[in-house]
Amino acid sequence: MVGLSLGEKHFIQGGIDQNLRSDGRKRDTYRPISVETGVIPQANGSARIRIGATEVIASVKAELGRPNALQPDKGKVSIFVDCSPVAEPMFEGRGGEELSTELSVALQRCLLGGKSGAGAGIDLSSLIVAEGKICWDLYIDGLVISSDGNLLDALGAAIKAALSNTGIPRVQVAAGASGDEQPEVDISDEEFMQFDTSGIPVIVTLTKVGRHYIVDATSEEESQMSSAVSVSINRKGHICGLSKRGSAGLDPSVISDMISVARHISEQLINKLDSEISAAEADEDEM
């Protein structure tokens, strides 16, 4: 919780009106983003993202499982977010549960596409090992370590970075298993497949304060918001998911406007993130 005096509130709102925010940024400028990959050695892929004082970690764990009977040609992905009490005393115990669920649901909506699996950022059919029998289950976990606003964008970026850091062992399926039998598999510990992460969208959250909307809001700015719209956009400029927060209603034309602004910003963000991710990977290789 952010407790602000009336003067501080006016200062934040006035700054946003004049396109000069309290930390010197413009309304559409992000804080510096830093990416670090391979931070958790036990995971198949992981990344840490810092946006200003907000810090999150995402990790990807791959396990062999059985595909869903309704979608025998697709693997399964689950996303879960945990808010550490380290980030905020109120996350202690069950306090962070509500926010965790909200973030998990928003990320699933933004990254996993529709029920049929169409439009998913992660190509689910690349996770299949033997159709109808074996597939990879990806468990994506996000952890909020330090929270200073804009958690959803940070988590989205961290997941994108963690996935490009992910290597999935190549699997040989033993021939000869017939009918309903579960075939035997041989998991290679040398050969790894890399993910194609070019289709994974980024999430841009526009926070409405007063009459204007800003990107990458800090928690002080978030406490002054009337509503916020998180849009996930891929490289093609297509919308892959959207969720709205905050109680105030929005005029439909404002929403359309926000979506087109988000699309414009997403181009820069994707480029920025991609270069940061490849720099981080290069760093990791050197070590």
Tokens of 225: 């918001």
CB 146 within 8 A of CB 219: no
Tokens of 277: 């991710």
Using rule CB under 8 A, residue 77 touches other proteins: no
What is the nearest approach in angstroms of other proteins to the Cβ of residue 229?
8
Which one of the spans 24-32, 37-45, 149-157, 231-239 is the region binding other proteins (CB under 8 A)? 231-239
CB 108 within 8 A of CB 240: no
What is the nearest approach in angstroms of other proteins to the Cβ of residue 37?
26
Alpha-carbon distance values, 284 to 38, 59, 131, 145 (Å): 7, 16, 35, 22
Nearer to other proteins, 85 or 249 (CB): 249
Using rule CB under 8 A, residue 173 touches other proteins: no
Which one of the spans 19-27, 100-108, 186-194, 274-282 is the region binding other proteins (CB under 8 A)? 100-108
**How far, in Å, CA of 194 to CA of 164, rounded?**
7
**How far, in Å, CA of 146 to CA of 129, rounded?**
38
Nearer to other proteins, 120 or 158 (CB): 120
Residue with tokens 């934040």: 12
Using rule CB under 8 A, residue 244 touches other proteins: yes
Q: From the list 6, 115, 175, 178, which residue makes contact with other proteins (rule: CB under 8 A)?
A: 115
Handedness of CA 242, 247, 249, 255 (dihedral sign): negative
Using rule CB under 8 A, residue 259 touches other proteins: yes
What is the nearest approach in angstroms of other proteins to the Cβ of residue 43?
26
Using rule CB under 8 A, residue 238 touches other proteins: yes
Q: Total residues contacting other proteins (rule CB under 8 A)?
A: 37
CA 145 to chain CA centroid, nearest Å: 15
Kind of pairing, strands 134-146 and 128-130? antiparallel
CB 143 within 8 A of CB 154: no
Using rule CB under 8 A, residue 179 touches other proteins: no
**How far, in Å, CA of 258 to CA of 264, rounded?**
10
How is residue 105 annotated by DSSP?
Answer: H
Using rule CB under 8 A, residue 118 touches other proteins: yes
Which one of the spans 29-37, 96-104, 168-176, 209-217 is the region binding other proteins (CB under 8 A)? 96-104
What is the nearest approach in angstroms of other proteins to the Cβ of residue 227?
8
Residues that bind other proteins (CB under 8 A): 70, 98, 101-102, 105, 109, 112-116, 118-119, 227, 229, 234, 237-252, 255-256, 259-260, 263
